[in-house]
Chain A
Amino acid sequence: MTVATQGDLSTLTSKALHQLIVNKDISVMELVDVFLNRINQYDPQLNAYITVVQDKARAQAIEVDNKIRSGELNHPLAGVPYALKDLFCTKGILTSCGSKMLSNFISPYDATVYDKLNQAGAVLLGKVNMDEFAMGSSNENSYYGAVANPWDTTRIPGGSSGGSAAAVAAGLAAYSLGSDTGGSVRQPASYCGISSIKPTYGRISRYGMTAYASSLDQCGPMARSAEDMALILQTIGGFDVRDSTSAHVPVPDYSATLNEPLVGLRIGIPKEFFADGLDAGVAKVIHEAVEQFKRLGATVKEVSLPNSHLSVAAYYVIAPAEASANLSRFDGVRFGHSCDAPINLQDLYERSRWEGFGDEVKRRIVIGTYALSSGYYDAYYLKAQKIRRLIKNDFVAAFNDIDVLMGPVTPTTAFKIGEKSDDPIAMYLGDIYTLPISLAGVPVVSIPVGFSDNLPVGLQIIGDYFNEAKLLNVAHQYQQVTDWHRQSPSQFTGA
């Protein structure tokens, strides 16, 4: 290899890596080996990967090298190695959802997003760690153990897509697909200093993405730049006949509008995102980022999302309720964990589920079942859905006279492993800035915009329904004049 050292390669964007392949500076096989070697070397410190598909990746690399050489494949992601959160179904590969319940589950089919990436010639390196069934904000709720933050390995990487964020930040994958129900791509991306996008609900097919809360779940690319996210979303977005909630809305050319200038962009700053509880160091970094947008020609005004403070309450009814229904499929009969020597059918169900699910998942199943049970439905689930309407209406009103909203992703930077693991309520309250957006179903990008006490800080850029192109444009313009997205944790750079 003459172009770059291994360390350099691991910090390049997907776009740059693909260019090296096209220029014949490196083969797909060489590139895949660079990443596989790095996973071997560095992942023991991070625990980002649950499964590494070394042989499959190499076989795919040979195939993609041949197809690129013959001209059969010229997709911009062809040959670029990536990782999937372990809730995307991948035929013949363990799909554990971070749970003991599925620790023996070899998926019999492919998720639509995996299928689309295969067709594009993207090379899967493996499946990455996550909070069990995507329930958590720290990646500590995984049957496969906690994941470390590459910027400080005593800290959490965020969750639930913690393995995805740690792998991309440490250069153990060029990008990753996570899933976001209440902030699960944005929060870990922010804590690990990478970029992410949670598109509009329905933008990307959920077929083969294991369900947590079906009215909220959305796949989200996590990458090293807005430009990369435009390529990934382009590849995996769009209507899918296999997902009855996927949106029948055309997918625009996201890369085509990245370079539009931001002069005249109207930014709204929701005052509720800067209230008590926001760490002063995080606030300072966010304000500096907003100033940068002013220098790019944007105008800024304060707006209000008056019902956003109700998001935690509404979310922790709606999401558990839907989860309790989705997770009722685990019965110890058809797939997943099954208890030993059941004495009768009820024992088989009850013990398999008690043994197979972890603490947080069981808590949410109980809460959700309670909220849906006879006599409580109106007071909890229906009430939460009405509040969800009020929260959505706040966003609709805000977008009448602004183009994008901006604010912090989280109130603090990444906390220590174990710091909140005994206090679920404290963990839930940390989701305060990501939940309103999830409940409204609007699209949002998060990008790294600086550091507070040497830990990354993320900015959310929120847009109107199906306006992902604008968000990617805004994020890209910021990344053209700053280099926060190019920072890498020194412990993991180098060959």
Chain B
Amino acid sequence: MAISKAEVVKVAHLARLAIPEDHLEGYTHIISDILDLVAQMNAVNTDGVLPLSNPLDATQLLRADEVTETNQRELYQSDAPRVEEGLYLVPKVIE
């Protein structure tokens, strides 16, 4: 196995995914299979090759720092699950 159950638990936490215990075995297997598939990259010598993050090797465009959007809070919050007086509600984080 390319990855252990414990590592899957750790990564799932980093990804904020609550994988239930009874799905863990299956995940570990399939993630291992995928890592085995991508392991063929290791056979290639890439010393001195520059990583390609944008196919056109383009750099980030910049624009003037000015306001271009108007406030549309009510519209945007119409899609939110829990809102009160213009604020998003989440469970209590400070006891």
**Which A residues are closer than 8 A to B by beta carbons?**
104-106, 108, 200-202, 215-216, 241, 244-245, 247, 307, 310, 312-314, 316-317, 324, 328, 331-336, 338, 342-351, 353-354, 357, 362-363, 365-367, 369-370, 373, 380, 382-390, 392, 424-425, 428, 439-442, 465
Given A108-B72, A389-B49, A425-B37, are A439 and B91 neighbors across the interface (CB < 8 Å)? no
- Which residues of chain B from 34 to 62 have a CB within 8 Å of any chain A CB? 34-35, 37-42, 44, 46, 49-56, 58, 60-61
B44 and A215 contacting across the interface, CB-CB below 8 Å: no
Instruction: Give chain B nearest CB distance to A182 CB in angstroms.
Output: 13
How many residues of B are in contact with the other chain, CB < 8 A? Answer: 52
Main secondary structure of the interface of B (DSSP, over half): loop
Say yes or no: A310-B34 contact (C-beta < 8 A), given A202-B58, A362-B17.
no
From A372, which residue of chain B is reached at the shortest CB distance? B14
What's the Cα separation between A312 and B38 when bound, in Å? 8
Interface centre among B44, B50, B72, B75 (most CB of A within 10 A): B44
17 more CB-based (< 8 A) A-B contacts, given A215-B53, A244-B61, A392-B52? A106-B79, A201-B54, A247-B58, A317-B41, A333-B81, A333-B82, A336-B79, A349-B16, A353-B15, A354-B17, A362-B19, A363-B31, A365-B15, A366-B12, A387-B44, A388-B52, A425-B33
Q: Please give, as numbers and ranges, the residues of chain A lying within 8 Å of B93 by CB-CB distance.
A: 344-345
Whether the pair B38, A369 counts as a contact (CB closer than 8 A) is no
Cβ-defined contact, A344 with B40, below 8 A: no
Judged by a CB distance under 8 angstroms, whether B78 is at the interface is yes
* A245 interface neighbour in B7, B52, B58, Cβ under 8 Å: B58
**Which residues of chain A come closer than 8 Å to B14, judged between CB atoms?**
369, 373
B15 & A324 in contact (Cβ 8 Å cutoff): yes
B1 interfacial contact with A, CB 8 Å: no
- B60 nearest in chain A by CB position: A244
Give Cα distance in the complex from A387 to B50, angstroms.
9
Can you list 14 residue pairs at the A/B interface with Cβ under 8 Å?
A: A108-B72, A201-B56, A202-B58, A215-B55, A245-B54, A317-B38, A331-B16, A335-B79, A349-B16, A366-B11, A367-B31, A380-B38, A387-B41, A425-B37
B51 touching A386 by the CB < 8 A rule?
yes
Q: Which B residues have a C-beta under 8 Å from some C-beta of A?
A: 3, 7-8, 11-20, 27, 30-31, 33-35, 37-42, 44, 46, 49-56, 58, 60-61, 63, 72, 75-76, 78-82, 88, 90-93
Complexed CA–CA distance, A336 and B88 (Å): 13
Distance A324 CA – B17 CA, assembled complex (angstroms): 11
Query: Nearest Cβ distance between residue A244 and chain B, in whole angstroms?
Result: 5
Query: Which of A324, A336, A441 has the most chain B CB within a 10 Å cutoff?
Result: A441
Tell me, in angstroms, the Cα distance from A382 to B42 when the chains sit together. 12
**Which residues from chain B contact A386 at a C-beta distance below 8 Å?**
46, 49-52
A392: chain B residues within 8 A (beta carbon): 52, 55
CB-nearest residue of chain B to A202: B56
Look across to chain A and name the residue whose beta carbon is closest to the beta carbon of B47: A386
Report how far A248 CA is from B52 CA in the complex, Å. 20
For B3, give its contact among A241, A353, A370 (CB under 8 Å).
A370
Closest to B62 in A: A244
For A91, the closest partner residue in chain B by CB is B75
**In the complex, what distance in Å separates the CA atom of A104 from the CA atom of B81?**
10
Residues of A within 8 A of B37 (CB): 312-313, 316, 425, 428
Is the CB–CB distance between A424 and B34 below 8 Å?
yes
Whether A350 contacts B46 by the Cβ 8 Å rule is: no
Q: Which residues does chain A contribute within 8 Å of B11, judged by CB atoms?
A: 366, 369-370, 373
- Known A-B contacts A108-B75, A333-B88; A350 and B51 likewise in contact (beta carbons under 8 Å): no
Measured CB to CB, the nearest residue on chain A to B54 is A215
Shortest distance in angstroms between A186's beta carbon and chain B's nearest beta carbon? Answer: 17
Do residues B46 and A348 form an inter-chain contact, with CB atoms below 8 A? no
Say whether, besides A354-B19, A362-B17, A370-B3, A201 and B60 are in contact (CB < 8 Å): no
